[in-house]
A and B are shown apart, each in its own frame.
Chain A
């Protein structure tokens, strides 16, 4: 299907030169740095997380280059340990966790529910500044030597043994954590209190349900990692015996605390992505979502069950057989709502009218990669298999399929889908489709071989595998894939930047999509809507949107 024949995209309309929107209302650096407009703050976040994405990506590239050969030849052991640590910390805390909520959520939550802004606009700006302070600390930490503990910074290695500046890295994560808490708080209050008249809970877009569930996790989970960091700092600085057995502590306590946040944190990354994909699938199949309430409540179920599975990271760590049993069982319980979502998305395609625009290609990519990531989770939840594959590349492959395959695919799909609304311009469709394809191919080539490596027994965090040169072929495949993936991630940055200046101006609703955000102008005015909208329709009313303008007898299929 060529771009010209693209049936959804309506011919671009020339912009009205005088029309005031959130982008052209004010100019100058202070109009951005002191803004309380949720849309401008979203753009501030977009810029900052993109910066950290490419920092984290650079580290990933170094990891893959080092593993091209079995011997440690590119960097020293200590450097490698710092590289994978910084890759993990930057990607998790400074890219993935803020990615969709702080950019797309910030931009879209008020627009989708018909509000003028978030409930606490100044707290929203504060959360960005906290993120920047945390990010600056992390950059300073990196430039002055970095940290070599792994992003999981297990005690007692982190508290009593490493010589690197774990306290500063911890402080960076601590501060960024408050940014995450404030975003969650803002969303919860906004969704409860600021919905437009007629926007009932069961008329909410599923993107909002997903963000609501995410916000609950951010609010309840993040304080626990903050506590953990304080305890690590206390043990390191004051030698209080908390985690190190030599001081009278318990190292397993650290792992319980760490994973109590860090497992739900995976859902902070994937739930918003599921929300994005739901919107995209509905729009490009021209259908309401199959089983709206099941999709909505599965988000809540994931948020609740997500808090009850943390010790499945610890099956070989020294917990008892019986607690391992319970956590294995609960891990299957949390897998179920994700499975339900996949089935409902699939069923939504049935009898749809499916368009293959770039956002939909990303959504298809998400479905493929997330399904593989989810299914391999069933392997890891099975106790007998987890013993063999935990802490190997099998785990690395599994969580990249979820957190990169799932979360980043959804993020990119969402950026493309709402780009006309955000920038007021259309992105180049052909390039976007090409990039989606490159990312999908590169991703699978990078991470699928790692499942095989993991089952064969290659442990994670090895910079030198000269004792087992039999692992090289698969590692070379993985590195080759990573370079392709890198190209796939660079492309959108180039053409999206290009489109901001040279892209065709977008109409208010270029996809003819449902949702209040498409009923205002592109880009929206500062307070989103000229008049407060009143909602009288259900979410995903594609039937009405696609109804012929003249009253005709509908064509029977």
Chain B
């Protein structure tokens, strides 16, 4: 294909092939539908053009035809719907053992922090052939993390985590775009996804290490005095956080939910809203006291002390469940005056 006039995006992830296959199927199906309709219109328009002395033949309609041309398109639509849903499920279900990368968006840059501690701005280095899961949040407005070559996109919201994942298949440098309009420099909020061979990637990692993210989380955990109540040896005034990530927990109001990234995040910022059963509402809010990066480190730390059962956590983290379910709950709790909050 021409270099300056490409008509097809690069394919560089396992998902890209699935999306393109469905796209090609749709091009063929809709192309045939359009061809059918346009051919009929043009043929009728020519064949039945006005001729002096020839009158139109009045036809009331035909129920059989109406049913046919409702049912057949509907069946075709359902095939497209089901296929689209299958691709979507793949896209929204991160593998359990994916490498985790935290992303913080702000006007107008992408800040990236690997679980191993490497930090990048507007760039993301990943190895080829490995599942990578992005845990994303925004410091200000809504952004969207879009990698066309991987065919993935996910809005990045303030106040919660959203998740997307990919498995790069081809080394190279790919576009990263912000796809949700976010203000003046929206079109400058672009970057590069650098997919490297594993050896190159290891070399890059070693050259940029600041110690693992969970390590900085542990430090913050101590500095903020969290350990006073959340003790890991005996049960303190707050819940013991060892092994809590990824487990179902029961709330004070009787609800059950899974302690995922969003739950940890919300419990730090707004501890009163989803309090564990059996604990007093005594934890202060850390809203405004910790930055998004510190929050990510804390979450990474709490996850790391749940590692005794490493598979338990990530299994529940289909991104939809993470972003969707807690979004509904957040809407509810935030719009209510929060009387249980202790200052």
Contacts and interface: CB of A to CB of B under 8 A. Distances in A.
Interface of A: 1, 7, 72, 77-78, 81, 148-150, 152, 154, 156-157, 160-162, 241-242, 244-246, 248-253, 285-288, 290-294, 315-325, 328-329, 332, 335-336, 339-340, 342-344, 346-347, 349-356, 364, 367-368, 371-372, 375-376, 378-379, 381-388, 390-392, 452, 455-457, 459-465, 467-470, 472-474, 542-543, 546, 554-555, 557
A365 B68 CA distance: 26
Contacts of B77: 332, 335-336, 378
Given A81-B186, A321-B324, A387-B152, A249 B334 contact: yes
Given A250-B334, A385-B84, A457-B146, A392 B50 contact: no
B65 A7 contact: no
B286 to A, nearest CB: 14
A378 B80 contact: yes
Contact of B58 (A320, A323, A542): A542
B114 interface: no
A156 B158 contact: yes
Contacts of B19: 384-385, 387-388
Contacts of A251: 142, 157-159
Contact of A340 (B70, B181, B323): B70
Contact of B26 (A72, A316, A378, A461): A378
Given A321-B320, A384-B84, A384-B91, A245 B334 contact: yes
B182 A157 contact: yes
A382 B69 contact: no
Contacts of B50: 1, 7, 286, 353-355
B55 A350 contact: no
Contact of B155 (A162, A318, A367, A468): A318
A1 B86 CA distance: 53
Contacts of A156: 140-142, 158
Contacts of B89: 321
B58 A467 contact: no
B256 to A, nearest CB: 17
B153 A368 contact: no
A249 to B, nearest CB: 6
Contacts of A463: 187
How many B residues touch the partner, as a band?
A: 35 or more
B41 A349 contact: yes
Nearest to A325: B85
A409 to B, nearest CB: 14
B211 to A, nearest CB: 30
Contacts of A465: 187
B9 A455 contact: yes
Contact residues of A: prevailing secondary structure: helix
A355 B152 CA distance: 49
Given A251-B157, A461-B181, A350 B30 contact: no
Contact of A375 (B18, B33, B179, B182): B33
A452 to B, nearest CB: 6
Given A248-B335, A250-B335, A320-B320, A332 B181 contact: no
B279 interface: no
Interface string B227-239: 0000000000000
Contacts of B328: 320
B60 interface: yes
Nearest to B3: A470
B46 to A, nearest CB: 9
Given A241-B334, A323-B324, A387-B91, A375 B34 contact: yes
B91 to A, nearest CB: 6
Interface in B9-46: 9, 18-19, 22-23, 26, 30, 33-34, 37-38, 40-41, 44-45
Contacts of A367: 37, 41
A318 B327 contact: yes
Contacts, number: 331
Contact of A364 (B45, B57, B58, B59): B45
B197 interface: no
Contact of B186 (A325, A392, A461): A461
Given A154-B142, A250-B334, A384-B88, A343 B69 contact: yes
Contact of B157 (A318, A323, A350, A355): A318
Interface in B299-343: 318, 320-321, 323-325, 327-328, 330-331, 334-335, 338
Interface string B147-173: 011011111011110100000000000
Contacts of B154: 316, 318, 387
Contact of B48 (A244, A350, A372): A350
Given A347-B65, A385-B19, A316 B74 contact: no
Given A320-B321, A378-B30, A388-B152, A154 B55 contact: no
Contacts of B203: none
B62 A464 contact: no
Nearest to B58: A543
B54 A391 contact: no
Given A161-B141, A384-B85, A456-B8, A318 B160 contact: yes
B38 A371 contact: yes
Contact of B62 (A291, A317, A318): A291
B44 A352 contact: yes
A47 B33 CA distance: 39
Given A318-B323, A459-B178, A557-B57, A324 B88 contact: yes
Contacts of B148: 388, 456-457
Contacts of B48: 285, 349-354
B206 interface: no
Given A294-B66, A384-B19, A384-B22, A456 B144 contact: no
Interface string B174-187: 01011111111111
Contacts of B34: 371-372, 375
